[in-house]
Chains A and B, each alone.
Chain A
Amino acid sequence: MERIPILKMGEFLLVTIQVDMHDRLAITLQDDLTEQIVKHRAHGVLIDISALEIVDSFIGRMLASIASMAQLLDSETVVVGMQPAVAITLVELGLPMYGIRTALDVEKGMTALRGAISQAGRDGDSSRIG
Chain B
Amino acid sequence: MPTANTRIPQIFEKREKEIIERWLDQQQATGRKLTGGERELVNRQSREFIRVLRQALERDSTGDVSGPEWAGVRDFLLDFTAQRAKDGYSPKETAGFIFSLKLPLFSALRADAGADPKTLADDIWLTTLMLDELGLMTTDAFQKTREDVILRQQKELLELSTPVVRLWENVLALPLIGTLDSARTQVVMQNLLEAIVQTRSDFAIIDITGVPVVDTLVAQHLLKTVSAARLMGADCLISGIRPQIAQTIIHLGVDLSQVTTKATLADAFELAMRRSGHRVIRDTPAAPAP
Contact = CB atoms under 8 A, between A and B. Distances in A.
Direct A–B contact in complex, judged by CB atoms less than 8 Å apart: yes
A91 B233 contact: no
A105 B233 CA distance: 8
B231 A90 contact: yes
Contact of A102 (B189, B197, B202, B231): B231
A84 B200 CA distance: 13
Given A87-B193, A104-B196, A108-B200, A80 B233 contact: yes
Contacts of A1: none
A52 to B, nearest CB: 12
Contacts of A102: 230-233
A109 B193 CA distance: 17
A91 B200 contact: no
Q: Place the interface of chain A in its size category.
A: 10 to 19
Contacts of A90: 228, 231
A92 B197 CA distance: 20
Contacts of B196: 104
B55 interface: no
A97 interface: yes
Contacts of B228: 84, 87-88, 90-91
Interface string B187-227: 00110011011001010000000000000000000001001
B232 A91 contact: no
B197 A84 contact: yes
A82 B232 contact: yes
A97 B233 CA distance: 13
A103 interface: yes
A112 interface: yes
A3 to B, nearest CB: 27
B73 interface: no
Contacts of A108: 200, 202, 233
B200 A104 contact: yes
A103 B233 contact: yes
Nearest to B231: A87
A92 B202 CA distance: 22
Secondary structure call for the B interface:
helix
A90 B228 CA distance: 8
B234 A88 contact: no
Nearest to B192: A84
Contacts of B231: 82, 87, 90-91, 97, 102
B233 A104 contact: yes
Contacts of A104: 196-197, 200, 232-234
Contacts of A82: 231-232
A87 B194 CA distance: 11
Nearest to A89: B228
Nearest to B191: A84
Interface string A96-116: 010000111100110010000
B83 interface: no
A84 B233 contact: no
Contacts of B232: 82, 84, 87, 102, 104
Contacts of A91: 189, 224, 227-228, 231
A85 to B, nearest CB: 8
Given A84-B193, A102-B232, A104-B232, 20 more contacts: A84-B194, A84-B228, A84-B232, A87-B228, A87-B231, A87-B232, A88-B189, A88-B228, A90-B228, A90-B231, A91-B189, A91-B227, A97-B231, A102-B230, A102-B231, A104-B197, A104-B200, A104-B233, A105-B233, A108-B200
30 contacts: A82-B231, A84-B193, A84-B194, A84-B232, A87-B193, A87-B228, A87-B231, A88-B186, A88-B189, A88-B190, A88-B193, A88-B228, A90-B228, A90-B231, A91-B189, A91-B228, A91-B231, A92-B224, A97-B231, A102-B230, A102-B231, A102-B233, A103-B233, A104-B197, A104-B200, A104-B233, A104-B234, A105-B233, A108-B200, A108-B233
